[in-house]
Structure 1
Amino acid sequence: MRQTTSNEESEDASPRRGGKVQGSQTLLRGLDMLDKVTDGPIKLADLAQRMGLTRSTTHRLANALIDRGFLTFLPREGYQLGPKLLHLGFLAQSRTDLVQVARPLIEELAAQTEDTVHLGRLDNDQALYLDKIPGRRRVEISSRVGDRQPLTSTGLGKALLLDDTPVRWQKLFDDDQAAGAPRADYALWLDRMYGYVTEGRAYDLEENEDLIRCVAAPVRDASGKIAAAISVSSAAQYMDDARMAALTADVRAAADRISAELGWRPQADAAEAPATRKRGKDKG
């Protein structure tokens, strides 16, 4: 009969005193273990160290998660997330109503800024407006839910393009210009887009509608891809350069909160955006 170590006795003895305590602690340990393997395969010894548990307890818990499909084990590499999590992730994403998730957050942003807030997504190389919260100011903005607007002349549309390459940018710009979008200089537009990528937001500087400016930011899904964007729009008299810069943090924070509701988790060491890399090559 195997003898347990004092550490194992300390870990396991307390939960046995009550079924509810044991169950909740085991559940929390299982969830913690899933968090510890999100970065890729991890060996048993390293996993035990991260968990603060003995190797035998870690092994027993990991095997239970493997049986349920939440983890898999790769020989010579270690434990990694299993297929059940992928299945659940797809189900959760497919059943998430973007408008329903975003509505309370964009209502809060509209109340905070007193300006009109839009929510939109990409639709056949156009920006489709999914929701609109009017502001408190007496500013008439012609957009309506269901409208489709050019990507390259709207702040919301440009926010949807922040991860794209300059090659795609130029194609969309040329297509929009050919389709009747307000005339614009591509060199100036491109230079601004590089800046928008760096700042993680985009502006509309009266490019789509006279005397209307906006600040926009992307919304990301669980995979990290841009799934939508939000914007704060108002009359130019309320949107000078200083206020647009000041709004950036609020708009990005609201977009990030919506993204978190969709399952996005920011990575501190995320790779450079494709456009940023391309610009560096162009300059070199």
Structure 2
Amino acid sequence: MKNSPSNPESVETAAKSPPGSQTLLRGLDVLDAVVDGPIALADLAAKLGLTRSTTHRLANALIDRRYLTFVPRLGYQFGPKLLELGFLAQRQADVVQIARPHIEDLALATEDTVHLGILDGERALYLDKIPGRRRVEISSRVGDRQPLTATGLGKALLLDDAPTRWQSLFDGDRIAGAPEADYGIWTERMNGYVAAGRAYDLEENQDQIRCVAAPIRDASGRIVAAISVSSAAQYMADDRMESLTAEVCATATAISRDLGWTDETPRPKVRK
């Protein structure tokens, strides 16, 4: 006979959810049930109100994805994937919190839209956005994942990467739908960006939108985030982009210092 559920709310939620999401919700219930430490299969099944076979199947799936581990004679406990995600979530929260006042000041001074983002796999993930005061529509949102090689912010995140990696990222972005571009011209510009310590978006990701971007470094000297100032091309002539460089780089440096970076921090080796 099936055990009685110990969490009626989660069962009720699962019952109201689309069929495809019920397994996901049950998997999350497993993680919630392990929060107090190692737990044996029989106890876990009883806590969830599920059969042992169903509980075993869910737990094994989470073990395969490294969300759980199994310790003989003790039972199931949190796995290394949750530690990785916890550190990542903490780092993201820290970067957003630390960068917020700086990018607010930058948006106020420039009257343009300012973004903060990080590397997320092979995309740029926008963590924060301060809208500009001009009547310019920037079609970006917090949580958007944008192509690295077509955005100023994305290119700023790549300034420490080896040129040998640029090609695969460039090709992958085009396959994924990024606007077409000439790789030779793109590479020449990137080499200039590396030398200057900042990057531009010259209407490569969104028509009539340009931006100036700069990397943010942590105490180890690694690039952990980037910021960009974006506006309509009519407000972003070449000379203004050049003049904005100092302001954007200064803001990125101020955020980096708050994250522990100093002028004496050695530059990391080029990422392969």
TM-score above 0.5, yes or no? yes
**2:192 & 2:268 partners in 1: Cα distance?**
13
Alignment partner of 1:144 out of 137, 141, 146: 141
Provide the residue aligned with 1:127 in structure 2: 124
Identity %: 71
- What's the secondary structure of 1:218's corresponding residue? strand
| One-letter code aligned to 1:250 | E
Per-residue Cα deviation, 1:221-267 (whole angstroms, up to 9, x for no partner)? 11000000000000000000000000000000000000001001123
Shift of 1:274: 4.0
Would you say 1:218 and 2:178 are equivalent positions? no
Provide the residue aligned with 1:4 in structure 2: none
| One-letter code aligned to 1:229 | A
Provide the residue aligned with 1:158 in structure 2: 155
TM-score (norm 2): 0.65
Provide the residue aligned with 1:256 in structure 2: 253
1:97-112 maps to which residues of 2 (within 5 A)? Answer: 97-112=94-109
Does structure 1 retain, via aligned residues, the 8 Å contact 2:161–2:270?
Answer: yes
Provide the residue aligned with 1:183 in structure 2: 180
Would you say 1:243 and 2:263 are equivalent positions? no
User: Gapped runs of 5+ residues in structure 2?
Assistant: 1-86
**1:98 & 1:217 partners in 2: Cα distance?**
15
Alignment partner of 1:113 out of 89, 110, 116: 110
Per-residue Cα deviation, 1:104-158 (whole angstroms, up to 9, x for no partner)? 0000000000000000000011000000001110100000000000000000000
| One-letter code aligned to 1:264 | W
* Residue correspondences, number: 184
Alignment partner of 1:207 out of 198, 204, 212: 204
Per-residue Cα deviation, 1:21-41 (whole angstroms, up to 9, x for no partner)? xxxxxxxxxxxxxxxxxxxxx
**1:94 & 1:103 partners in 2: Cα distance?**
14
Would you say 1:172 and 2:169 are equivalent positions? yes
User: Gapped runs of 5+ residues in structure 1?
Assistant: 1-89, 279-284
**1:195 & 1:266 partners in 2: Cα distance?**
22
